[in-house]
Amino acid sequence: MTLKTNRVCQPCTACCDGWVQIKVKGCEAYPGRPCPHSTGSGCDDYHNRPVDPCRKFECAWVKEGSYLPDDFRPDQCGALVIDNVLQWQGMDVDLAVPVGREIPLETLNWLKSYAEQKMRPLIYQQQPANRRKLVKNPLTLAHGPPAFQEWLQQKLESGEKLW
């Protein structure tokens, strides 16, 4: 069964505000550094935005048939979810990045519970607690079977780009 959704991005601009690391027309965006075209309520060059990453980007909350609840718009729940970011042992893996320093506990617990119920390992990021400033590369954590957690740790230690 496919769920129908009529969700629209705006006024959320979490993907443009640097919570997802992207490069737009040669300009990097990452935590603490939004895309230079983001106005905080939209894009000042929306009609000329590039295919990659802007037009290709798919926030899981907006996607047709999204499994995320209505109140999980990224700027409201504190997490931006990208589903099917990669595969592990034939299973879809989802990614959640914080919209802010960290994913709120209620949101993170819902995502973890969903991951367990649907057997969809989850990768999530959090800003280090001991740092006052936002860092470009937040902590990357895993929720899923121990083998998945070990696999992710090995990939991270080798410096491999995962998505």
- The residue ranges of every structural domain in the chain are 59-158
| pTM for the full predicted model | 0.90
H or E element in which residue 109 lies: helix 105-118
Q: Is the bond into 11 cis (omega within 30 degrees of 0)?
A: yes
Q: Which of 116, 163, 118, 110 is nearest to 144 (CA)?
A: 116
> Which pLDDT tens digits describe the chain residue by residue (163 residues)?
455 568 888 788 999 999 999 998 889 999 999 999 988 888 888 888 899 898 898 899 999 999 999 999 999 999 999 999 999 999 999 999 999 999 999 999 999 999 999 999 999 999 998 888 999 999 999 999 999 999 999 999 999 888 8
